[in-house]
Amino acid sequence: MDDQKTGFYIASGRIIDPFSRRDEIADLYVFEGRVVNPAELPPDVRWTRIEARGLVVAPGLIDMHVHLREPGETRKETIRTGTMAAAAGGITTVVAMPNTLPPADNPDTITWIGKKAEKEALVRVYPTGCITEGRRGEKLSPFQSLVQAGAIALSDDGNCVQNSRIMYLAMEYASVLDVPILDHCEDTTLSDGGVMNEGYWSTLLGLPGWPSIAEELMVSRDILLCEKTQARIHLQHLTTEGSVRLLREAKKRGLPISAEVCPHHLALTDSSLRNYDTRFKVNPPLRGQRDREALIEAVVDGTIEVIASDHAPHTQFEKEVEFDKAPFGVVGLETLLSVCLQELYFSKKMDLLDLFSRLTLGPSRVLGLPQPSLSYGSVADLILLDLEEEWKVDSSQFLSKGKNTPFEGLTFKGKVVLTMVDGQIAWQREERNLVVK
Ligand SMILES: [Zn+2]
């Protein structure tokens, strides 16, 4: 047996580290799960060289809005396939939403997800627990036992707690436990039956509308409840200009509030629905051009500090029905970074340090996780990215079971070529031959 210790020597990459604001060409050494100082390399280590010349080396992404579908809906996705897709997309940490079957409204389900992930996941998985039992919005889940079992946050995502008293109590308890609430904002008395943004296109297409005000009313309510309870509130998948304005004002007043935006809302508008293509059916829906611009502006100036995929896989069978009947949701793990690069970096709106900040530091701060970094001593969750590589989205090549992407057939620039989790290669494009033995 050869028991010589091994480490990785990542040679001549462009280091992009938002935490230390570092953007420079340098070597990086990884040993026993951590980034190590080249001046203090441990002796007797065999270094495996990874050729990174011409590539970006950055911290792995944290995607804090992912539907892994397990337990219960493994025909759509599993912890295994979902985390394979994450690794291929450069995501080293995912936060799993609790709308599984059964829902994660009890400590046993949270524990089960944790154990299953330990065995099968390629990246880090943090489960969340439901705000209310069965996500029905009527009775609070046992927050303390959910958190003790490993829930990193609470959410009824997919549903929004309609009863203001229940939401108020939820925030009071969450603030005592100091755990964030991930808030899907939708007043269903206004959105019920809606399948797309209410506006010009819904009128033209004759489809029932899900109006902006249904989101904005709940954003307003929860800002007020946040002010009252001082709970940590994170607004999920914001879509409207009005929501951005409300958030901006709330932040000015110093509330403990944060927000995320999804790549599809940054890249697409409701005009994409003109052919009744169910791949563009998502909740909350694609909005208008002004909304899209307001979201981009908010993510650029940091009002929105997180970009998350809201990866929501469905089977082809379910999506290939009439528009009204198709389920909401798009897959996003394998396109997250490329879409962000297109909309924010190649469009010259953000530099790489700021863009990676929204995908690493932003979510880590909201969740209270250790800050991702490439500085010495940091956990070696990192990616190698080829900014120049052009690739065409072909969902048949996705590692996710879900093929319901709104970006099918589009060409993007920038592709992840290697992903490392905890100092080990979790995924790589073998044909690139980056690892020199
Ligand atoms: Zn949602």
| CB neighbour class for 353 (10 Å; exposed up to 12, middle 13-18, buried from 19) | middle
Tell me the average pLDDT across 227-256: 98
Q: Are residues 321 and 430 in the same domain?
A: no
Domain count, the chain: 2
Whether 222 sits among the annotated catalytic residues: the reply is no
Give me ligand 1 centre to Cα 249, in Å.
Answer: 23
Q: Does 2 have pLDDT greater than 80?
A: no
- Which pLDDT tens digit goes with each residue over 348-365? 999 999 999 999 999 999
Q: Does 97 have pLDDT greater than 80?
A: yes
More reliable by pLDDT, 185 or 3: 185
Q: Does 223 have pLDDT greater than 70?
A: yes
Is residue 34 part of an annotated ligand binding site? no
Torsion over CA: 233, 234, 240, 245 (sign): positive
* Percentages (nearest 5) of helix, strand, coil residues in the chain: 35, 25, 40
Q: Are residues 120 and 35 in the same domain?
A: no
Q: Is residue 259 part of a domain?
A: yes
Q: Is residue 91 part of a domain?
A: yes
Q: Tell me: cis bond preceding 71? Omega within 30 of 0 counts.
A: yes
Is residue 248 part of an annotated ligand binding site? no
Q: What is the pLDDT of residue 382?
A: 98
For 50, the domain range is 5-57+378-387+412-436
Tell me the average pLDDT across 381-402: 97
Rounded to whole angstroms, the Cα distance separating 97 from 129 reads: 8
Q: Are residues 296 and 423 in the same domain?
A: no
Q: Does 1 have pLDDT greater than 60?
A: no
Q: Is residue 399 part of a domain?
A: no
Q: What is the pLDDT of residue 433?
A: 83
- Which pLDDT tens digit goes with each residue over 330-343? 999 999 999 999 99
Give the pLDDT band of residue 437 (cuts 50, 70, 90): low
Q: Any idea of the CA torsion for 182, 308, 201, 187, to the nearest 10 degrees?
A: 0
Give me ligand 1 centre to Cα 212, in Å.
Answer: 15
The CATH number assigned to the domain holding 328 equals 3.20.20.140
Is residue 265 part of an annotated ligand binding site? no
Beta bridge partners of 382: 59, 420
Q: Does 3 have pLDDT greater than 80?
A: no
Q: Are residues 31 and 66 in the same domain?
A: no
The CATH number assigned to the domain holding 40 equals 2.30.40.10
Q: Are residues 223 and 266 in the same domain?
A: yes
Q: What is the pLDDT of residue 436?
A: 81
- Catalytic hit among 187, 270, 310, 354: 310
Tell me the average pLDDT across 42-60: 96
Name the DSSP class of 106: S
Q: Does 190 have pLDDT greater than 80?
A: yes
Mean pLDDT (the chain, rounded): 97
Q: Is residue 396 part of a domain?
A: no
Q: Are residues 71 and 26 in the same domain?
A: no
Tell me the average pLDDT across 309-318: 94
Q: Are residues 74 and 214 in the same domain?
A: yes
For the residues of 159-216, what is the DSSP string, one character each?
S----HHHHHHHHHHHHHHT-PEEE----HHHHTT--EESSHHHHHHT--EE-HHHHH
Tell me the average pLDDT across 259-264: 98
Give me ligand 1 centre to Cα 186, in Å.
Answer: 9
Q: Are residues 146 and 289 in the same domain?
A: yes
* Packed helices 79-88 and 107-120: angle between N→C axes, nearest 10 degrees: 60
Is residue 106 part of an annotated ligand binding site? no
Q: Does 319 have pLDDT greater than 60?
A: yes
Q: Are residues 80 and 224 in the same domain?
A: yes
- End-of-domain residue from the set 308, 337, 367: 367
Among 156, 113, 150, 167, smallest CA distance to 133 is for: 156
Give me ligand 1 centre to Cα 410, in Å.
Answer: 25
